Structure 1
Amino acid sequence: MANEADNTSNSAGPVVMLLGSGEMSRELALAFQRLGATVVAVDGDADAPAHRVADRHAVVTMNDPDALAAVVERERPDYLVDQAGVIAIDGWETQAGGVEIFPTPRAVRLSLDREGLRRLAADELGLPTAPFWFAGSAGELSAIAEHAGFPLTVTPVAGATGDGRSVLLRPEDVQPAWNRAIAAGTVTTPNRVMAETVVDVDDEVTLLTVRTIGATGPSVRFCEPIGHRDAGGTLATWQPHRLSPAASDAAKSIAARIVNSLGGRGVFAVELLVRGDEVYFTDVRPQPGDTGLLTQRTQRLSQFDLHARAILGLPVDTIMISPGAAEIGYADGPARTVTKRPDALAILSETLDVAESDVVLFDRLDETDGRHRLGAAVATAPDVTVARDRAQRTAVSLRRLWQS
């Protein structure tokens, strides 16, 4: 049963419905509202972050197509923006009643299906990737490891980024890796994993790619590359990440081809591995994500502003206004929240004493991501090296907020 907020909006602008109302959706809701849109946030959690800022909200079971269709029928949105992957539910898009859907249902499905996405990228589009295989049992995985050699990474075919990931270094690692991947996989692909050769690369890069459709047809724009390093409990990001001219051209070509194949409008976070002038495709998310959080300080239009503008059919630009860096901290499990400390303001005062620093604190588990964000430290500077140092110093101080 849907729970509706009592407030209504008098805006004459478009109505945008967000399916999934986590931390990313909260920022996206604000971006749409700045452009005059009325935002309806939908989630299974009555206290979801986007519900606090949306014009209206509804609480429904997110994997129930009939319940979602009823909300769409009642609210009659102009745009439906999937932040939680629910449009991948079989038959759901046919119940949306002709409303414009973003990302496209195909993009949602493939973003949740590593096998389908990798086969599209490598087999159909011919994009360079690390060698990969798929296994439906521990025995098949063992045979792949014997054939391909070590090391190998193993991930569930479907699941949140990073969940269930293991690195195989020797034969006895196969069974534990299989068990871990299967435990983290989704019910739609309960017994299938992807194995990849570990490629010796210099960098991991996110290329935020904005796809728009104008009078002359589809076009894509690229933000400055974002470098990142995931240390498990912390994600460090920085922008710009310098690429050679050849690598930059290759990255843009790969991103444009995969994004145009998926179609639709909006921001796509294209994940790449870089070794010298060589670039390999690894993944794409058809929505704003964690690696792009720093764009709220580094770009004239953040990833959320870009996503909202592209979906609404408005002009975009990808101008970077300052080099910057961020460090995002995560909890070990979903139950942990930011500690409510009596000295919180004193800690924040010390944290923000770092030049050009800023912080973002989170206190809810995001519907769209299994990892629980605790907070982000963001800093800008005249060059990216100084920005990374400032972000790191800010993060060290910020972590005291959730240390017991």
Structure 2
Amino acid sequence: MSKEDPYVVLGVSREASADDLKKAYRKLAMQYHPDRNPGDHAAETRFKQVNEAYDILKDEQKRAAFDRFGHAAFEGGGPGAGGFSGFGGGGLGDIFEQMFGDMMGGGRGGGGRARSGGDIRAQVEISLTEAFTGTKAPVRVQTRIACEHCDGTGSETKDRAADLCPTCGGAGKVRAQQGFFLVERACPTCGGAGRKIRNPCTVCRGAGTVARERTLQVAIPAGVEDGTRIRLAGEGEAGGAGVSAGDLYVHVSVREHDIFQRDGANIFCRVPVRMAQAALGGEIEVPVIDGSRTKVKIPAGTQSGHQLRLRGKGFSVLRSAARGDMYIQVAVETPRALSKRQRELLEEFDTEAKDAPGSHTDSEGFFAKVRDFFDGR
């Protein structure tokens, strides 16, 4: 460990607050980071010193030990010795944790102990109409809850006596250096609690939690999309004595609908229309996602693939009273099994249509282009 005064290394006074320390650390860590100073050994050395200094001063116990004993507190099992190697508990992990921890939800609690129990992931499947209206869906999960026998304390006796974990010294985490990086994990002896129960509970064996199956009613908001993840804070695994519960993350899967296809806030509905109806025009009745019906006018001469827009008849928008639009996709049906009379009528119609210019503009234009193509060759 560097013998330089950590306050001097960070450029702060001995009365500096935790925020002042953090700001000074961030500034210097970014300034001397090896990625910004490739090949600069002096910058790399300073980078390590900055991490060592911040590792001492950010921890109240280590800071108090240094203020009283100086560097002697961390030598040869002194009162502040932590038993960690490498960057003295700092390093790249601290940079990412301090700069991005709050944004990613990974910030440490005081003293570096385990902040919460384990998170749980579950999946629920709902229909498209339930996604439109919103619903409550039961979710069954395998989890860990607070032990009822010891009220989650992990102790068989009421005194709840416990000693600091001999492996992590109460930190709840242990660190090991792997090359340039420092790997941190929960202490295997105490499971991250930082202490060992003297008289463990006979049911949970000192863990403070037991395995159980739970069923929760999860509120699915209207407008939710397939693949949405819903977070239920504190509904994850219990963390044991002195540790908050983890979170439950529910992944929502929306089943395909027989009639409607969703695209964001818009809905598409393919509606078959008789050939004569498409040619003559008319009115049809179509379903709406909210369970109602609406009438739609089919213009005369409507072609297959034509879309009709119904404003405000689409999907509900998440956390809003607004709705998208509904698009009717017309599919003109060609009759298959014809009676003798129907065939005669169609043949008569086709004969007359050939002599009526403009009645088949698409086909006329296409075959005109085909003739030009062959004439050009």
Report TM bin, short chain.
under 0.3
* Structure showing the higher helix proportion among its residues: 1
Larger-Rg structure: 2
**TM-score normalised by structure 1 residue count:** 0.21
TM-score, length of structure 2 as denominator length? 0.22
